[in-house]
Structure 1
Amino acid sequence: MDFIFALRERGVPEENLTKMEEDKIDCDVARLLNEEELSKYIPRYGDRVFAKNWMPAKRRKMKLPAAQNQKKKYGFGNRNAETKTRKIELGWMNYQDSSYKQVRRPKGGGTREIVVQKEDTMSSVLNVGKSLFFPNGESAKGNADHFTFMLCGSGSEDPLKEDQTIGSLYEATHFRILRLYVCTRLKDQESDEIDTILTLKKPRHASTPDDGPCTSGCNDQNRSQTLQSPPLMHVSSIDVLQSSEEVVCLGNDVDTSFDMVSDTLVDSPVHVDFVVDETTTDVVPFNSDPDVFPGNSIHESTNAEETVPEDTMSVPSQAVDSQEPESFFENPRNVTESETVVIRRVHCVNDMIQAFSDKNILHANVTFKRVLENGEEEAGIGDGVLQDCVTEFWHIFYATRTCGTTFKIPTLHHTYQEREWQAVARIFVLGWLRFGYLPIQLAPPFLKEALSLPSETSLMEAYFSYISQAEKDVLSEALQDFQNADMDEVLSVLSSHSCTVLPKEKNLQKILEEIAHKEMVQQPAYIIKCWRPILQSVGENMTAERLEQITNDLQPKARNVAKNLKFPLSMPPSETTVSNHLLRFIRERDQKELGLFLRYCTGSDLFLSKTIHVTFKEMSEFTRRPIAHTCTQQLELASDCSTYAEFRAEFCSVLNSGVWVMDIL
Structure 2
Amino acid sequence: MREGETVGVIMKRLGLKHFRCYLLAKNSNKDDDEDLPRLSHKQKCPGKSSDPIRINTGVGHDKIKEIPVTSELQTSRPENHTNLLVDHEEEIFTTLQSEPEIVDFLPYLDDIEPSTSGTQKQDVVMNVLAVAAEESGIIQFGSLPSNEDDLDATLPIVKYITVHRGLVCRDLLMFFSEGPHEYSKFEIKMLKQDGTEEIADDNGGVMRDVLTEFWETFYTQYTEGNSYKVPVIRHDITESLWRAVADVIKIGYTQEGVFPIKLAPSFMQQAIFGQCNNNEVIDSFLKFVPMMDKVVFEAALKDFPSVGDDIMDVLEQYDVKTLESESNIREIAHKELIQKPMFVADAFYKVLKNTKLVEAEMEVMYSALQPTPKKVLKALIFPNDMRQDEISSFVKKMVREMDDPQSLKLFLRFCTGSDMMTKPSIHIRFTSVDVSASVRCPSAHTCGCVLEVPKSYAQDPFVTLKADFMEILKNRYRQMDIV
The alignment's TM-score, normalised by the length of structure 2, stands at 0.67
Shift of 1:644: 1.3
- The residue identity in structure 2 corresponding to 1:345 is R
2:370 maps to what in 1? Answer: 555
Shift of 1:353: 0.3
CA deviations on 1:329-386 (whole Å, 9 max, x unpaired) are xxxx875443221111232111110111233435153221122234332112202111
CA deviations on 1:55-91 (whole Å, 9 max, x unpaired) are xxxxxxxxxxxxxxxxxxxxxxxxxxxxxxxxxxxxx
Residue 340 (structure 1) aligned with residue 340 (structure 2): no
How many residues are matched?
357
Q: Distance in 1 between matches of 2:226 and 2:191?
A: 31
1:569 maps to what in 2? Answer: 384
Q: Secondary structure at the match of 1:652?
A: helix
Shift of 1:458: 3.4
Q: Distance in 2 between matches of 1:626 and 1:524?
A: 43
Paired residues of 2:431 and 2:453 also in contact (CA < 8 A): yes
**Which consecutive residues of structure 2, in runs of 5 or more, have no partner in the other structure?**
1-14, 21-69, 82-116, 127-139, 147-152
Q: For the structure 1 residues 456 and 471, does the alpha-carbon distance in structure 2 shift closer, same or farther, using more than 3 Å as the test?
A: closer
2:103 maps to what in 1? Answer: none
Q: Secondary structure at the match of 1:346?
A: coil
Aligned alpha-carbon RMSD (Å): 3.3
Q: Secondary structure at the match of 2:338?
A: helix
Q: Distance in 2 between matches of 1:260 and 1:608?
A: 45
2:30 maps to what in 1? Answer: none
Q: Distance in 2 between matches of 1:484 and 1:572?
A: 56
- The residue identity in structure 1 corresponding to 2:341 is P
1:476 maps to what in 2? Answer: 298
2:337 maps to what in 1? Answer: 520
Question: Which structure is higher in RCO with an 8 Å CA cutoff and minimum separation 6?
Answer: 2
Q: For the structure 1 residues 527 and 492, does the alpha-carbon distance in structure 2 shift closer, same or farther, using more than 3 Å as the test?
A: same
1:633 maps to what in 2? Answer: 449
1:170 maps to what in 2? Answer: none
- The residue identity in structure 2 corresponding to 1:587 is R
Paired residues of 2:267 and 2:276 also in contact (CA < 8 A): no
Paired residues of 1:618 and 1:639 also in contact (CA < 8 A): yes
1:624 maps to what in 2? Answer: 440
1:644 maps to what in 2? Answer: 462
CA deviations on 1:618-645 (whole Å, 9 max, x unpaired) are 2347412110011121111010222111
Paired residues of 1:362 and 1:430 also in contact (CA < 8 A): no
2:265 maps to what in 1? Answer: 444
Q: Secondary structure at the match of 2:362?
A: helix
Q: Percent identity?
A: 27
Q: Distance in 2 between matches of 1:462 and 1:419?
A: 27
Q: Distance in 2 between matches of 1:644 and 1:279?
A: 73
Q: For the structure 1 residues 513 and 372, does the alpha-carbon distance in structure 2 shift closer, same or farther, using more than 3 Å as the test?
A: same
Q: Distance in 1 between matches of 2:343 and 2:80?
A: 45
Residue 536 (structure 1) aligned with residue 353 (structure 2): yes
CA deviations on 1:500-559 (whole Å, 9 max, x unpaired) are 3x223xx2x111111110110111111111111211111xx3221111001111111222
Shift of 1:609: 3.0
Q: Distance in 2 between matches of 1:443 and 1:572?
A: 40
Q: Distance in 2 between matches of 1:304 and 1:580?
A: 51
- The residue identity in structure 1 corresponding to 2:199 is A
1:492 maps to what in 2? Answer: 313
2:220 maps to what in 1? Answer: 399
The alignment's TM-score, normalised by the length of structure 1, stands at 0.50
Paired residues of 1:610 and 1:633 also in contact (CA < 8 A): no
Q: Secondary structure at the match of 2:177?
A: coil
Paired residues of 2:77 and 2:145 also in contact (CA < 8 A): no
- The residue identity in structure 2 corresponding to 1:600 is F
Shift of 1:492: 1.4
Paired residues of 2:442 and 2:452 also in contact (CA < 8 A): yes
Q: Distance in 2 between matches of 1:567 and 1:305?
A: 44
Residue 370 (structure 1) aligned with residue 185 (structure 2): no
Q: Secondary structure at the match of 1:363?
A: coil
1:587 maps to what in 2? Answer: 400
CA deviations on 1:149-198 (whole Å, 9 max, x unpaired) are xxxxxxxxxxxxxxxxxxxxxxxxxxxxxxxxxxxxxxxxxxxxxxxxxx
Q: Secondary structure at the match of 2:393?
A: helix
Q: For the structure 1 residues 503 and 217, does the alpha-carbon distance in structure 2 shift closer, same or farther, using more than 3 Å as the test?
A: same
User: Of the candidates 344, 364, 387, which is equivalent to residue 208 of structure 2?
Assistant: 387
CA deviations on 1:593-615 (whole Å, 9 max, x unpaired) are 22111111111111023322211
Q: Secondary structure at the match of 1:605?
A: coil
Q: Distance in 1 between matches of 2:257 and 2:119?
A: 41
Q: For the structure 1 residues 280 and 533, does the alpha-carbon distance in structure 2 shift closer, same or farther, using more than 3 Å as the test?
A: farther
1:663 maps to what in 2? Answer: 481
Paired residues of 2:226 and 2:289 also in contact (CA < 8 A): yes
1:578 maps to what in 2? Answer: 391
Superposition pairs of residues 44-193 of structure 1, within 5 angstroms: none
Paired residues of 1:388 and 1:604 also in contact (CA < 8 A): yes
1:217 maps to what in 2? Answer: 17
- Greater share of helix residues, 1 or 2? 2
1:430 maps to what in 2? Answer: 251
Q: For the structure 1 residues 648 and 370, does the alpha-carbon distance in structure 2 shift closer, same or farther, using more than 3 Å as the test?
A: same
Q: For the structure 1 residues 337 and 481, does the alpha-carbon distance in structure 2 shift closer, same or farther, using more than 3 Å as the test?
A: closer
Q: Distance in 1 between matches of 2:418 and 2:175?
A: 20
Q: Distance in 1 between matches of 2:330 and 2:18?
A: 48
Paired residues of 2:177 and 2:244 also in contact (CA < 8 A): yes
- Greater share of strand residues, 1 or 2? 1
Q: Distance in 2 between matches of 1:434 and 1:259?
A: 38
Q: Distance in 1 between matches of 2:237 and 2:475?
A: 31
Q: Secondary structure at the match of 1:398?
A: helix
Q: Distance in 1 between matches of 2:169 and 2:474?
A: 22
